[in-house]
Structure formats: C-alpha cells, structure tokens
Amino acid sequence: MQRERLLKVLVIGDLGVGKTAIIRRYVHQVFSHHYRATIGVDFALKVLHWNQGTVIRLQLWDIAGQERYGNMTRVYYREAVGALVVFDMTRASTLQAVLKWKGDLDAKVALCNGQPVPAVLLANKCDQQRQGLCAKIPKLESFSKEQGFLGWYETSAKDNTNIDKAIMCLVEHIMAGE
C-alpha cells in the first residue's frame, strides 16, 4: 500500500527576489529573465517518490512579495508545514525583509505541536556574484542560526544551483518530524 502525504510549503520573501523563478525551475525545469510580479498567490505541485511506501505531494504556495503589505498572509499560511524564505543576494534590503517575513510567519502560524514552522533561508541570484554581491550581506551562517532557520543555501534559479538541495533539506526535516 502506498502512503500519500500532502505537504503545504510556503515560499515567501520580498518583491522580485526570485520566488516564482525558483519554483518554476524546481517544478518545470525552466528559467526566464522576464519578470512578472505574482498577484496574491500561485500554486505549484511536485510529486516526490519518497521511498517505496510513500509518495509526497509537495504543494508550493508562491506568495507575492507585495503581500507583506496586505492582510491575507494569515489565511495563506494556514496549515503550512514548512517555508522557504528567499532574498536577493544583490539587494541588502531584501535580507532585512527576511526578518519581517520570518516574524510574520512565526506570529501567524505554528505546527500542531506548537513548534514554529521549519524554514530554510535561500540567498538567491548567486550567479550574479561576478557583478559584485552586496557588501552589506553579513555572515549568513550566524544570521540563519540567530533567526531560527534550519539552514541556508546560496541558490540560483538561473543556473539551477542548490534548489533541489535546499528543498530536500526542508522536506527531510518535515518527514523526520512526523
């Protein structure tokens, strides 16, 4: 008998950091330089054959960066079991915004057992390193620990760097906690 698990995972972070691009890369293996802001929320589904007995239906909730200024996040966050919090390595302001997003998440949702929803930090657009990364980005190891993230990854939706790894880190943690 196959066991099926539905996991709701949020993808949050400021405008234009690459949330939609990361999801499109992960689910559809495509990337586009064209930017169209997400309105409200979008959804994507990835089916993972986890092990012999288990299929995971990973439901990714792609929440518009604009929603930080709206009042719908409480509704979108309901029943989430994990989150990817994304910033853009070339814009320090988007790392500042990670504090706001993580705070919003922890204030509005928790696991059934009262624990915070596990979250992984994604430093996206690492392919732009040659154009000079923002010097104001602090040491992510300590930042990520202080802010209660499971871990952090430098990612690129463009070059397909570390996206699978970051999502696997989150899913493995979620499945281990079941």
Convert residues 11-50 into a mask of x (bound to ligand GTP by CB under 6 A) and - (unbound): ----xxxxxxx----------xx-x-xx------------
Q: Which of Mg ion, ligand GTP, none binds 157 (CB below 5-8 Å, type-dependent)?
A: ligand GTP
Regarding 65 and contact with ligand GTP (CB under 6 A), the answer is yes
Nearer to Mg ion among residue 38 and residue 160 (C-beta): 38
Question: Least distance to ligand GTP from the beta carbon of 70, Å?
Answer: 12
Here the tokens at position 10 are 């949020």
Here the tokens at position 120 are 């992984």
Query: How far apart (Å, rounded) are the C-alpha atoms in residues 131 and 61?
Result: 31
Nearer to ligand GTP among residue 56 and residue 85 (C-beta): 85
Spatial CA neighbour of 64 closest among 15, 119, 121: 15
Nearer to Mg ion among residue 20 and residue 162 (C-beta): 20
Distances (CA, A) of 152 to 30, 71, 145: 23, 28, 9
Decide: helix, strand or coil at residue 46: strand
Decide: helix, strand or coil at residue 110: coil
Regarding 151 and contact with ligand GTP (CB under 6 A), the answer is no
Spatial CA neighbour of 90 closest among 64, 142, 139, 125: 125
- Which residues contact ligand GTP (rule: CB under 6 A)? 15-21, 32-33, 35, 37-38, 64-65, 124-125, 127-128, 156-158
